[in-house]
Amino acid sequence: MDQVVASTQTNVSTPDQTATYGANPLPVWLVLLGNVVMVCSLWLLGAGGMVGKLILLVFWLLMIVGFGGRLRFSGGAVVGILLLGGLMALLTTGNGVGHEKIRLIGNLMMLPLGLAAGMLIGRDCLRVMMPALVVYLPLSSSFYLTHEGMRLNHPFLFLGLFALCSVTVWRGGKVVAGIAALAVLLSQTRIAVLAMMINLAGRVRFSSIWTWMVGFCAIAATAWMVADHLPRLLMTHGSGRLQFWRDFADMWIAAPTTHKWLGFGAGSVEDILSGYASFTSFGALHNDHFRMLFETGIIGAVLWGAGWLVMIAVVRPSRLSTCILLSVMVTMVTDNSLNYGHYLMCCGIAAGIAAQRDAPHG
């Protein structure tokens, strides 16, 4: 996956004295336009299809092109671009339906594109993404009844908002982060809660005694609330995932050698799952890492894994950035995070901002 390292030139003495790191503030008209575009892309999610994510992708791609004069490609960035290009080429020439190939390629671009935008533009990205989420989420969020109790929708959008809050210096950011964290808990989505904790670990100062004292009390209070009011978070069942994973593993093992190396093609997972009686309630494989192996084969899985290693290597000076990327990687173990374009973009932007802030300057 491609990573772009921005060349930073600033006259300020410390990063926190400016709204951005290494970038001039975005003009007001561009910030307002960006908010309108982001709100539209969020509302279009409810209509289904790829339009909402396409708007998101094109907008941030244009933003990066507009700031292209500041780009400087590191060795890791070049390797990342080659890996992403190779994966796209494999998808394009492999099996699968045309529109499914386009959908998967677009999804694969979200996280690295957000990472590039965060590193290149800096904290001004927050002025575009955060207001749109703050407007959209209260208006579109609601509880729905399941056999496991009431759950709040949009867990991954709230998780993306939490990631953005983790790199803001705005005082109200902590309040918004607290609300987003509560919303993730109320969604009772276990993998989202785990990802949020990994993200939070990137900000916590473990060397401080206050961290341990306050943290212990907070964990105890949260554990009591979860046990008493959010029992689903403590359940260990796989919601049927394990059986689907076994079936697909058996198919992959029994497949011809060509399919093992090049995959079954983009969209093959959903096509196969559509034959299951439980498809309408389950809908997807809920494991993006396994999905990449199944649809792109061993070659695609190697490119996918190498892309993650490159991204983490590029941001490794920043503990927060590394934790944000690891949190996304973890959600992909039991969910379909690769389909959540706005969540990936938010996490990519947050990780990019943190990486730019914590990068060695001199």
In this prediction, residue 114 carries a pLDDT of: 97
In this prediction, residue 131 carries a pLDDT of: 96
In this prediction, residue 308 carries a pLDDT of: 97
| Predicted TM-score (pTM) of this structure | 0.88
Token pair of 49, please? 């299809």
* Amino acid letter, 79: V
In this prediction, residue 10 carries a pLDDT of: 34
In this prediction, residue 350 carries a pLDDT of: 98
Number of domains within the chain:
1
In this prediction, residue 354 carries a pLDDT of: 96
Contact 13, 118 (CB under 8 A): no
The domain in which residue 281 lies consists of 5-358
Low-confidence residues in the chain, pLDDT < 70? 1-24, 69-71, 73, 147-148, 206-239, 278-283, 361-362
In this prediction, residue 2 carries a pLDDT of: 43
Q: Is the dihedral of CA 19, 2, 181, 133 positive or negative?
A: positive
Interatomic CA distance for residues 58 and 135, integer angstroms: 21
Q: Which residues of 163-186 are buried (b: 16+ CB within 10 A; e: fewer)?
A: bbbbbbeeeebeebbebbbebbbb
